[in-house]
Structures are given as structure tokens and as C-alpha cells.
Amino acid sequence: MKPLHAIILDDEYCSCERLKKLLTSFQNVFVANCFTNSQKALGYIFENRPDVLFLDVELANDLSGFEILDRLDINQCRPNVIMVTGHPQYSIKAIKHEVFDYIVKPVDIDELKITIDRLVQKTSNGHSKLNGNFPELTGREREILQMVLAGAKSEEIAERLYISLNTVNTHRRNILKKTGARSVFDLFRMNNISHV
């Protein structure tokens, strides 16, 4: 598997460089760029579609981390997001924004390794099977669809994503409704994948 294409957005240059240096110890992550400006980071994401965004919450320039997430969602161009911040009080809000993980500074290398390992596992489990024919889905719905296409059952999805079974089933219904599919078999067919 090729390294995950990553970028860092943090308004403090030294924080960007520190995190980039920590990430160089992971062969499965390639930090392509660091940004201290939100608008430049957004432009890069829209043009290059990185796999992962390491994002601070409070940014000194024009947009907050959560406003960045909203813009990415509106444009259906959201990578996996790992929030890295010195502000632990935003963790619940981050969960509601469906970020992949939330790490409080100073970054602990062991915690970072656990997060990267989980992200690599997630992206290798069916990630390549979703061919992009479902732009109407939210980031979480696409994530669940990837897992469904990889053969995961609702119970397994709930356990792996730390959400309730009811939430998974609600997402599955929404996926069918938004795509016009009548069943999981239809989703396989629409995605040009044989259902084994």
C-alpha cells in the first residue's frame, strides 16, 4: 500500500514542523505540505484530494477548524481528519463533526502511532473499492458504504466506528435512499463490484 497523502494545517509554524517531524517516523504517511493559512490549505485539498488532514481547531487566520470541516463537507471533498490541538474542550464537537481522531498537544508519539495504525487499517479495508460514484453521500456514509462493500456486517461496523447499531442502520437506510439503490446488491452493482 502506498503511503497516505497527508497535509497539516496549524496556524503556528513551529507546531506544523514538530508534527511533520513526528510523522516522518511513519513509513505509511507522507506529509506533502504544511499550511498556516486556511484558504491555501483548502485550495490544496480541493485540487489534490489528500488522504488525511491533520487539523488544529483554533486558527489565527480567517477560518476555524470546524469551519474548514464544513467547507470540505459542502464541497464533498473531505479527507480523513485528525484534529491535533491544545484545546481539549472541543472533543465532543469534533465527534459530532465525525473527525477520525482527536489528539491533544503535546502530541504523544505512542498515541499518534495508534491513530495512524487505525487509519491505515481503515483505508486498507475496502477503501479502494469505492469508485467515487456516490458524491451525494456524507463522509460518514461513504465510510460505512466502504465497509459494507468490503463485507462488514452492521454489528462489526458499529464496533469499529464506536457508534450504535441503530446509528449504523440509520446510515445504511440513508445510503439506500440517497443512491436510489433497493438493496446492498444494487450498491455492489452500481459500484461495478461483483457480490461474492
Cβ-contact 50, 79 below 8 angstroms:
yes
Question: So what's the pLDDT on residue 194?
Answer: 37
For the segment(s) 4-124, the CATH number from 3.40.30.10, 1.10.167.10, 3.40.50.2300, 3.40.1190.20 is 3.40.50.2300
Collapsed DSSP state (helix, strand, coil) of residue 22 = helix
Question: So what's the pLDDT on residue 125?
Answer: 56
Cβ-contact 166, 129 below 8 angstroms:
no
Question: So what's the pLDDT on residue 138?
Answer: 85
pTM recorded for the entire structure: 0.66
Mean pLDDT per 10-residue run, the chain (196 residues)?
90 94 94 94 92 92 87 87 93 89 94 91 60 75 85 85 90 88 74 46
- Quick one: angle between helices 139-149 and 165-179, nearest 10? 90
Fold of the domain built from segment(s) 128-190: Arc Repressor Mutant, subunit A (1.10.10)
Question: So what's the pLDDT on residue 196?
Answer: 35
Listed by start position, the domains of the chain span 4-124, 128-190
Rounded distance between C-alpha atoms, residue 144 and residue 149, angstroms: 9
Question: So what's the pLDDT on residue 102?
Answer: 95
Question: So what's the pLDDT on residue 19?
Answer: 97
Please give the full DSSP string across 124-163, using - where no structure is assigned: HSSGGG--S--TTS-HHHHHHHHHHHTT--HHHHHHHHT-
Question: So what's the pLDDT on residue 131?
Answer: 57
